[in-house]
Amino acid sequence: MNTQHFSKKLRTTLVLAGVTLSGFYHAQALAAWTGYQNLGGVVTSEPSCARSGVGQVICAVRGTNSALFVNHFNGSTWSGYQSVGGIVKSNPSCTNDGAGKVLCAVKGTDSALWVIWFNGSSWSAFQSLGGTATSDPSCTRSGTGKVICTVRGGNSGLFANSYNGSSWGGYQALGGVVDSNPSCAYTGGSSIICGVKGMDSKLYVNWFNGSTWSGYQNLGGVIHSDPSCTANTAGRVICGVKGNDSALYVQRFNGSSWSGFQNLGGTMTFEPSCATTSGNGAVCAVRGTDSALYVKRFNSGSWSVSYTNLGGFLVGSPICTNSAAGKVTCVVEGSNSALFANTGP
């Protein structure tokens, strides 16, 4: 993988003022969000962000030269973009390993999966995990110092590759016929869950308990986006999807059973992004038909009645990640192809 120059253009054409207050605007919630911060750059992929410490975040994105660029938030300021090289052919997927390191995975020009590590001070070289990826990867921690990356293969089945703290185990075929990018989340202990859209447009989930996979469970529905699954260490899971009517639908796992789909309303474009806040809380973010960012918050067992309109003019889907206790950082691509970050609630 080659390192090339990244054209960084700090333009401020993202419209953040004068936002029209819609019927599902939740005024009092705005005070809990920081407002948009312009991270600059000219991006050519959706970003992926991972918590790297308390209040700290790393976001990765493909630049105009197809290399991977990273930007570090230390709790108060962003570092600016650093090129870590590569020729990237997918959206990246970044995760922390629960032991102080961050991993980012991408599809390379050879369709193999490539990974790169941040050890807290510097980035490693890219390592090829091989395979033939036909989707974006989805990586998540699977214990302390352990990571699992999943990807759709050339036969449309799902494949998983596990890092045990010292080496990768090679691909394990999970089967299925997958029609989306996977979305995997850490559920505590050594367990993870992965959600995918099937060829029948239904939502399927597959659990890993630390040693074996459960096989697919059909959660039904008629979904029209990649799923976005998030979990907390109590083993509770929320998966959000775009429904047949373009509304946001969620399924919640309470530790023993799934809730069935709950319609949260709205009219969204692209896929949602859901992230854990604290306790059993979560935020799901979507791009509205006016291209603004809207969020719904789950807290104390129920969802906020209305969406909070955070404004802006999004080009693609938002990407949200837990950044500190009770807080989520959502990163979006603006109309000028720069990245913008907003933290709440």
| pTM of the complete model | 0.89
Which pLDDT tens digits describe the chain residue by residue (345 residues)?
332 222 233 222 223 222 332 333 344 455 689 999 999 999 999 999 999 987 899 999 999 999 999 999 998 899 999 999 999 999 999 999 999 999 999 999 999 999 999 999 999 999 999 999 999 999 999 999 999 999 999 999 999 999 999 999 999 999 999 999 999 999 999 999 999 999 999 999 999 999 999 999 999 999 999 999 999 767 899 999 999 999 999 999 998 899 999 999 999 999 999 999 877 889 999 999 999 999 999 987 899 999 999 999 999 999 999 987 788 999 999 999 999 999 988
Domain boundaries along the sequence of the chain: 27-344
Q: What is the 3-state secondary structure (H, E, C) of the chain?
A: CCCCCCCCCCCCCCCCCCCCCCCCCCHHHHHHCCCCEEEECCECCCCEEEEEECCEEEEEEEECCCCEEEEEECCCCECCCEEEECCCCCCCEEEECCCCCEEEEEECCCCCEEEEEECCCCECCCEEEECCCCCCCEEEECCCCCEEEEEECCCCCEEEEEECCCCEEEEEEEECCECCCCEEEEEECCEEEEEEEECCCCEEEEEECCCCEEEEEEEECCECCCCEEEECCCCCEEEEEEECCCCEEEEEECCCCECCCEECCCCEEEEEEEEECCCCCEEEEEEECCCCEEEEEEECCEECCCCEEEECCECCCCEEEEEECCEEEEEEEECCCCEEEEEEC
The CATH classification of domain 27-344, taken from the options 3.10.20.30, 2.60.110.10, 2.120.10.70, 2.60.40.3140: 2.120.10.70
